[in-house]
Structure 1
């Protein structure tokens, strides 16, 4: 079917189109049928060619004329092949002709479209040419203004840059003029360093930020600015150092502000800290420089120094004095250094920039950084420990001086630490050194402390061994011997003052005291071993008393250290006689137990009129008299010395405890006696009177025994009461709170006595009674 014609085609039909209008109306159907037939014919022709062994090669995509010709010529029948080719050509021509005729209308239609397209293309070509001409004209019209705009834009940019550059240059020159005006002040002290540093910093910032290099007038001023900068740094450093040395916060603040304005605060502070660290290390090294101390480097004459650091003969005293002087000067320098750095740190932690309000310390110390004083102290302690260790191993002279004079060396260090702590103790400001820092400084001289302790041990051990060696021959040390030991201990305490542990070394020898089985015999006169123990007890007690009086003037730390060993001395003294007192008490208790062998149930006037004491009481009195004459008279202080008699000793305490125990033990067993007749009650009362008299005259004044004596006095009328009048009925008439109040008073007295004796534990019954009493008061109804 032909395509609809365009308006141009309808108005101007071509000859072919006109020719097509004369076709038969049924042509369309006929054409369709013919086309179908032609397609079938063409298909059969192609099938015939494809099935032919010679012609099928022409359908192959890889057909080669040369190969086909060679094969045809070599087949032996080229004429036949040529005939076949001609027949195929004729067949194809016929087929093409049929195709053209069958598609006649379509071809005419396509030809008309091609003509129309050609006409349209000619019109388009003309329009495009016109458009190109217009574009060339527009380009010509726009290029000149564009070039002008580009040129003027560059000019504007240059003008703008030049304007900014000129403005910054003018500002730099104005600031330079202000800087010159400030620098023209004749008196340096009146120069506002901080303001000048601010101008200097702003000028350099302008110069670098806006690239003012190359401007002659600015470059000339920059030379002056750099010269002023060096002057400012020099003057600010002088002010800063002067303020640190004089602890003047205003001067230190001014110096820091100058360097902050210059943008060099962190570097300057680090430089200062490193300088002070170097000064500290140098000071420590100079203090222990033996060549400098002896005043000779290589000359080994009198007063010179040997290779081992030992002065020659005649120079020891001077070298020793020079060493202590240098150590004193070193301590002074270290104090000044640490306090100066602390003062710098203190100002940094308080001062803020007046414009930005930035804390200057935050510019110096970042998170995780150590404080300035910690850095200096760490370097100082490290150098000090290294020098002390080196002096101990390399110089026998320094080792001897610092070992013998360790108390003086330690006193210097402690004085240094105390002064630093005192001078840097300001509210709201961190101290210069912490407790850990102090311990590090003390640990630096521990090597000399160990040597000093060993020396003290040798001196004390020699004396103790000499004095107590008489024990092996059976002799007891005299008071003169004990006085020598005490004097030596006192000398050591006075020498060391703050380290009283040195005196404890004497306990190693004192502990070797005889307390064998014979020390417990109480039936015969006192043996030689017992007399020896008595003397040792008195001597050790004297040592304990005198040393205790010595430590009253010492620091609390020394008293705390000495207290355990003084307790050991007291314990050894007690051990030498405790077994004796225990044996005496056991003997007296055995006498009291014989009360149960007596018959207190006898009736009759004869028993009532008998004024003799019971046999067990007579035995008890004989034992007490024997103890008094053979033992207590040698242990208890003489009554002629009133001051000594009033002072409680180990033996007086033991005698008081023994007397109290005897009274309580008697009351306990006397209350168990049954039956008890009226005459028996009288005998019991006489026994109580005899007991009170024997104890009071030979052991301890009964009225000073307290509760045991009151119990004995209360027990006397109790035995004459009827059963209905005994305590059980009184208990019925009292409330539980009143009963507990009385029991609680007894328990409190017991606890007081335990603490007075120095016992470490209470009886297991004591906490049980307290627990029961608390449950009584908890459950008691309100009255």
Structure 2
């Protein structure tokens, strides 16, 4: 295998190299280009050239001799290039050499000048060194003298101030000691010693010992004055104490210390109030091993003493909390008013930084936190305390409310923030909500158990006794009286009472007897009816008594109990409503028999007959029977009830029944047709008998109002001439529909009534009248009048009946706004 061609074989010939000397730039460029393009020589242009690497590569190439030859040729080429460069720049090199010679001469001159300068400097240094050393020595001496003078002056001032402090008043007699001025001197002495570092001076150190002793005495006396002023709410003493600590420069730390102390006192007081071990030890109550059992319950016989001791401690705790909060508030009040007499700085600004909470807020927050924690712990850890505070929650709540009211009252000063905010009050109340919930649950449980005992679910036929009803009423009254001093707690208890009343109404409703036995009115009262009567009276007694209990309470109390009392009242009504409805239907059926009587008969016999109509006699018998068999049991004290103006359920039902009977009679009396003069006399006697029967056996008719006035007006109305009827004042007491229906009896047979025109029975038409207003009734009447007028025109008659224009005139004034009591 042929060896690779050596790079030296491609080198230019000597003639080519010679030709390049004619153009130095071209020669230099071509030489560099040839070297850089040569694979072997280009390595010498690299900045990272290594002779060892190059030699190793040349020896391993297999032709080291050719490589060496090539290197020699390259060296020769570079030598010739350098020679050419020197020759081509000969003049420039000579000129540069001349410049170097001149420079050397200049440097020689400069060297001589520098040597002369050094000599001058040495002489000047020799001339200035002695004065400089003298000045430096004198300056140091002056500085020392000045420092000694200042130190001596400050020491003298410190000694003078200390002498003033000694002369101000003897420390052993605090009453003669001006605490504020002494504190100012004390602070000024210490500041002077610290600022000018007077320590180490024997006489000053001696005085400093006295000053420090005086400072301790001042702090002690100032704290006594401050605490005495806080306890006695003396602004002057509190202001003096605060001024002392301000002058000492310790106001903020002292106030913080005081606040923390009072916070600790409050927390300790709360903890001591619920410390069962201390309570039992103080009351002499024996507990099991360890002082308190796991449930926190004293042994048998010691509960009363422990309970009394617990309430006493709680009372003492409330008093201590009041004193603590008011004292801190008083401190805060003085801080917010007092200013330093020299700097006029407000002391509160020195104590509180931006964003800091007020002093009373800090103390109250600690009180609420500790109280809440202790209440939760007592609720879960001690069954004895839980029972006392649950059953006696009104007393516990009253203590807290009294505490809050006392604090609010004692800190209510115009222009000063109160000790506690409304949010703080709510936080304290919320701390005992756990006992409030338990108390309300216990209240509902007591009432529910009583209701369950009176109305057991398993027994439907039992009726509670009066004693049982009185017991539940008394229990409800006790629950209300226990909390009536606090409006909010009263409302909460009333809600629980409302739940119990709803339960009572549900159980009572389950006991109501229904069916034919409860609705019969023809025979004597049945056992089912007697049972319903008793339930009605019991429920009515509960409703009346509880309603009277809340009359003295705010109106919101009635709103809270209104739904539950309404439920009780509704059940009481339901127990007898079916009986009254059945009796009313019976009486209405008797009145409907009026249409079976012959009121159109003429003759002296009918006119002279003073006896009541058969239907009226039956109506009287039914009313008398209802009175003797039913109302006598339902209204045993009706007279007394009316005398005092109290309306019972049964009196309301009887009054409604009496009103309905009168109106129903007037309606059907107006439908009687024909009606002769003797028939009018007979109907008038029936109305008198009806008034007597209703007034004696149901309800005093004079107290019925509009129905009674309508009955009294209808009796003379039927005797009036038609021409007189239109302007009669009797019309004011009668529904217009009754007057119009009566006028049919005065008209001709061709004027058909709505009853005849629509081929209805009296009962059907009466039911329709009950469901319609006066305007609808008039529409029906107007239709019959239009038919009558049309028939008159068809027959060619020239005149209408006198009742026709009268009915049109009266009917045009009818509206649909007539009260229900005025409708027939």
- Common fold by TM > 0.5: yes
Pairing 1:43–2:40 present: no
Match of 1:352, SS state, is coil
Determine the structure 2 residue equivalent to 1:419.
Answer: 406
Pairing 1:517–2:534 present: no
Match of 1:512, SS state, is helix
Match of 2:507, SS state, is coil
Cα distance change of structure 1 residues 259 and 98 upon mapping to structure 2, 3 Å threshold: closer
Determine the structure 1 residue equivalent to 2:281.
Answer: 295
Cα distance change of structure 1 residues 324 and 122 upon mapping to structure 2, 3 Å threshold: closer
Deviations 1:563-590 (A, max 9, x none): 6544444444333334434444555566
Pairing 1:357–2:340 present: no
Whole-angstrom CA distance in 2 between matches of 1:429 and 1:296: 41
Deviations 1:471-527 (A, max 9, x none): 948464443443344444445555565555476676334642233433444455433
Instruction: Select 1:377's aligned residue among 356, 364, 375.
Output: 364
Conservation of the 8 A alpha-carbon contact between 2:607 and 2:682: no
Whole-angstrom CA distance in 1 between matches of 2:238 and 2:85: 117
Whole-angstrom CA distance in 1 between matches of 2:327 and 2:168: 30
Cα distance change of structure 1 residues 112 and 405 upon mapping to structure 2, 3 Å threshold: closer
Whole-angstrom CA distance in 2 between matches of 1:662 and 1:138: 148
Structure 1 residue 320, shift from structure 2 partner? 4.3
Instruction: Select 2:323's aligned residue among 312, 333, 336.
Output: 336
Deviations 1:389-443 (A, max 9, x none): 4445544554555555555444444443443333333333343344444444445
Determine the structure 1 residue equivalent to 2:544.
Answer: 545
Determine the structure 2 residue equivalent to 1:251.
Answer: 237
Whole-angstrom CA distance in 2 between matches of 1:438 and 1:411: 13
Cα distance change of structure 1 residues 331 and 607 upon mapping to structure 2, 3 Å threshold: farther
Pairing 1:629–2:628 present: yes
Mean CA deviation greater in 108-117 or 326-335 = 108-117
Structure 1 residue 45, shift from structure 2 partner? 8.9
Instruction: Select 2:167's aligned residue among 181, 186, 189.
Output: 181
Whole-angstrom CA distance in 1 between matches of 2:28 and 2:473: 146
Determine the structure 2 residue equivalent to 1:195.
Answer: 181
Whole-angstrom CA distance in 2 between matches of 1:467 and 1:560: 27
The count of corresponding residues between Structure 1 and Structure 2 is 673
Whole-angstrom CA distance in 2 between matches of 1:666 and 1:346: 82
Conservation of the 8 A alpha-carbon contact between 2:521 and 2:626: yes
Matches within 5 A, 1:651-666: 651-661=650-660
Matches within 5 A, 1:701-780: 701-710=700-709, 725=726
Matches within 5 A, 1:224-239: 224-239=210-225
Conservation of the 8 A alpha-carbon contact between 2:171 and 2:214: no
Whole-angstrom CA distance in 1 between matches of 2:605 and 2:150: 138
Structure 1 residue 270, shift from structure 2 partner? 2.5
Structure 1 residue 240, shift from structure 2 partner? 1.6
Determine the structure 1 residue equivalent to 2:271.
Answer: 285
Determine the structure 1 residue equivalent to 2:532.
Answer: 533
Cα distance change of structure 1 residues 113 and 469 upon mapping to structure 2, 3 Å threshold: closer
Mean CA deviation greater in 479-488 or 673-682 = 673-682
Whole-angstrom CA distance in 1 between matches of 2:250 and 2:83: 103
Conservation of the 8 A alpha-carbon contact between 1:520 and 1:583: yes
Match of 2:218, SS state, is helix
Determine the structure 1 residue equivalent to 2:574.
Answer: 575
Matches within 5 A, 1:685-700: 692-700=691-699
Matches within 5 A, 1:302-451: 305=291, 307-308=293-294, 309-312=296-299, 315-403=302-390, 405-446=392-433, 448=435
Conservation of the 8 A alpha-carbon contact between 1:244 and 1:343: yes
Conservation of the 8 A alpha-carbon contact between 1:403 and 1:448: yes
Gapped regions of structure 1 (runs ≥ 5): 1-39, 68-73, 732-762, 766-783
Cα distance change of structure 1 residues 677 and 385 upon mapping to structure 2, 3 Å threshold: same
Match of 2:342, SS state, is coil
Cα distance change of structure 1 residues 249 and 678 upon mapping to structure 2, 3 Å threshold: farther
Structure 1 residue 348, shift from structure 2 partner? 2.8
Structure 1 residue 337, shift from structure 2 partner? 2.5
Whole-angstrom CA distance in 2 between matches of 1:97 and 1:334: 115
Gapped regions of structure 2 (runs ≥ 5): 1-18, 46-50, 56-64, 733-770, 774-824
Match of 2:226, SS state, is helix
Structure 1 residue 236, shift from structure 2 partner? 1.4
Whole-angstrom CA distance in 1 between matches of 2:93 and 2:425: 116
Instruction: Select 2:227's aligned residue among 241, 265, 269.
Output: 241
Cα distance change of structure 1 residues 383 and 110 upon mapping to structure 2, 3 Å threshold: closer
Cα distance change of structure 1 residues 126 and 247 upon mapping to structure 2, 3 Å threshold: same
Whole-angstrom CA distance in 2 between matches of 1:107 and 1:209: 77
Conservation of the 8 A alpha-carbon contact between 2:627 and 2:697: yes
Conservation of the 8 A alpha-carbon contact between 2:512 and 2:535: no
Structure 1 residue 653, shift from structure 2 partner? 2.7
Whole-angstrom CA distance in 1 between matches of 2:270 and 2:500: 37
Match of 1:429, SS state, is coil
Structure 1 residue 331, shift from structure 2 partner? 3.1
Structure 1 residue 191, shift from structure 2 partner? 2.1
Deviations 1:712-737 (A, max 9, x none): 6667787766699489xx99xxxxxx
Structure 1 residue 238, shift from structure 2 partner? 1.1
Structure 1 residue 119, shift from structure 2 partner? 7.5
Whole-angstrom CA distance in 2 between matches of 1:629 and 1:262: 98
Whole-angstrom CA distance in 1 between matches of 2:30 and 2:329: 114
Conservation of the 8 A alpha-carbon contact between 2:638 and 2:651: no
Mean CA deviation greater in 324-333 or 405-414 = 405-414
Cα distance change of structure 1 residues 621 and 362 upon mapping to structure 2, 3 Å threshold: farther
Whole-angstrom CA distance in 2 between matches of 1:530 and 1:580: 8
Cα distance change of structure 1 residues 374 and 138 upon mapping to structure 2, 3 Å threshold: same
Mean CA deviation greater in 266-275 or 406-415 = 406-415
Whole-angstrom CA distance in 1 between matches of 2:521 and 2:592: 18
Whole-angstrom CA distance in 1 between matches of 2:450 and 2:704: 42
Mean CA deviation greater in 681-690 or 319-328 = 681-690
Determine the structure 1 residue equivalent to 2:764.
Answer: none
Whole-angstrom CA distance in 2 between matches of 1:164 and 1:670: 130
Cα distance change of structure 1 residues 403 and 207 upon mapping to structure 2, 3 Å threshold: same
Instruction: Select 1:265's aligned residue among 220, 238, 251.
Output: 251
Determine the structure 2 residue equivalent to 1:211.
Answer: 197
Determine the structure 2 residue equivalent to 1:757.
Answer: none
Conservation of the 8 A alpha-carbon contact between 1:50 and 1:56: no
Conservation of the 8 A alpha-carbon contact between 1:172 and 1:206: yes
Structure 1 residue 143, shift from structure 2 partner? 6.4
Whole-angstrom CA distance in 2 between matches of 1:650 and 1:263: 81
Mean CA deviation greater in 610-619 or 404-413 = 610-619
Conservation of the 8 A alpha-carbon contact between 1:476 and 1:536: yes
Cα distance change of structure 1 residues 337 and 124 upon mapping to structure 2, 3 Å threshold: closer
Cα distance change of structure 1 residues 564 and 204 upon mapping to structure 2, 3 Å threshold: farther
Deviations 1:235-272 (A, max 9, x none): 11111221222222222222222222223223222222
Conservation of the 8 A alpha-carbon contact between 1:252 and 1:344: yes
